[in-house]
Chains A and B, each alone.
Chain A
Amino acid sequence: MKLITANHLKTGRVIYYQANPAGWTKDPEAATAFHDEVAEAQLDALERAPGDALGPYLIPLSNKGLGGQKWRRESLRHRGPSAGTTLRLHEEPR
């Protein structure tokens, strides 16, 4: 199973693709997990018509979902920086 992720064109923020309703969300829990072949086809379609998504790509899901060493990069993308005064994910900027 795979998720599709990208960055938002206007804000640069991390987004995930959901199939129903079709569109992008900031919440990975709301993202749709696709079977591998369907994911490839969906990604292909999104690359041809990216809309507000920048550089969509697939992220494979492990049994444990997000997190762990394999997921270090995606975990950082999801949670945001851990440094000092940086606001957490649930805190909207500005």
Chain B
Amino acid sequence: MYRYRDDETALVLERIEEFEDQIARRLSGELSEDAFKPLRLMNGLYLQLHAYMLRVAIPYGTLDTAQLRALARIAERFDRGYGHFTTRQNLQFNWIALTEVPAILRELAEVGLHAIQTSGNCIRNVTADPFAGAAADELEDSRPWAELLRQWSTFHPEFSFLPRKFKIAVNGAREDRTALRFHDIGLQWVRGPEGAGGFEVWVGGGQGRTPRVARRLRAFLAPEDLLSYLTAR
């Protein structure tokens, strides 16, 4: 699985410091709730019916033991001893205090996790087959492709303020275990006419208040064209 470089870790820590300052200014009254809300949403922090909820990104649903233990520690120390795994492979803590968010984010950063782009109108966590790498019907490991898309979409200036949230799934197996056709973009690994691997591209799917099944936009996309094609779409 992907390991952050030092500069990437530094970026995450800088982002935590920035959000900690924003929280302090909110608590002091310097920032109004209207001004603070988009800032907290950019850091995965919602205010829900009963309490704040922090959504942690788990890129393509892959966790190592250190990360899982860190999530468990956070649940014990800062929540009620549990969290909720979501259908899009994130983890939500539902009883978080605003004042404790910076400490939680630092614990997450120690194991290469964060809550950036888990809310707001941006490209969200890219999901993949939960059995990727171990599925009998796998044609291609979807995780490196999901990681490529994660790096491409994270802090992408053109896609940080979209009209609405945007979701991408990648499936490299014959069976779809990603709900591919209920994503804004679904990428299915297929063999092209000359036998080379590439992506079948599905677009326009979604859930929520206006659910709809995605339509196939392209039967075969060469992998080297993936990022430029998605940018253009």
Partners in one complex: yes
Residues of A within 8 A of B (CB): 7, 9-14, 50, 54-55, 73, 76-77, 80-81, 85-87, 93-94
7 shortest A-B CB distances, which residue pairs?
A12-B52, A12-B51, A11-B97, A93-B95, A10-B98, A10-B99, A93-B80
- Residue in A9, A12, A14 with the greatest tally of chain B CB atoms within 10 Å: A12
Known contacts A54-B33, A93-B95; A11/B52 CB under 8 A:
yes
B contact residues, range = 10 to 19
In angstroms, how far is the closest chain A Cβ from the Cβ of B53?
A: 8
State whether A94 touches B80 (Cβ < 8 A): yes
Binding site for A on B (CB under 8 A): 26-27, 33, 47-52, 77-80, 82, 95-99
Chain A residue nearest to B26 (CB atoms) is: A9
CB distance from A77 to the nearest CB of B (A): 6
CB of A11, distance to nearest CB on chain B (Å):
5
Chain A residues near B51: list those with CB within 8 A. 7, 11-13
B99: nearest chain-A partner, CB-CB: A10
Residues on the A chain within 8 Å of B33, using CB: 50, 54-55
Residue of B nearest to A52 (CB): B27
Most chain A C-beta atoms within 10 Å of own C-beta, residue among B27, B33, B50, B99 = B50
Closest B-chain residue to A7, C-beta based?
Answer: B47
* B27 contact from A10, A73, A86, A87, Cβ within 8 A: A10
CB distance from A80 to the nearest CB of B (A): 6
One of B78, B80, B97 near A10 (C-beta < 8 A): B97
Is there contact, CB below 8 Å, between B27 and A12? no
Chain A residues lying within 8 Å of B78, measured Cβ to Cβ, are 94
Partner of A87, one of B80, B96, B97: B80
A12 touches B50 (CB 8 A): yes
Q: Once the chains bind, are B50 and A77 in contact (CB under 8 Å)?
A: yes
Question: Could you tell me if A9 and B27 are in contact, using CB atoms closer than 8 angstroms?
Answer: yes
Q: How far is the CB of A66 from chain B (nearest CB, A)?
A: 15
Judge whether A81 and B80 touch: CB under 8 Å. Answer: no
Cα distance, A50 to B31, chains bound together (Å): 12
- Given the interface contacts A86-B80, A93-B95, does A76 sit within 8 Å of B49 by beta carbon? yes
**Given the complex, which residues of B lie within 8 Å of A87, measured CB to CB?**
80
Whose C-beta in chain B lies nearest to the C-beta of A76?
B49
Shortest B37–chain A CB gap in Å is 10
CA distance A18 to B45 in the complex (A): 29
Residue of B nearest to A77 (CB): B49
Nearest CB in chain A: distance from B211 CB, A:
23
Residue contact B47 to A54, C-beta cutoff 8 Å: yes
Given contacts A54-B33, A55-B33, A93-B95, contact A13 B80 (CB under 8 A): no
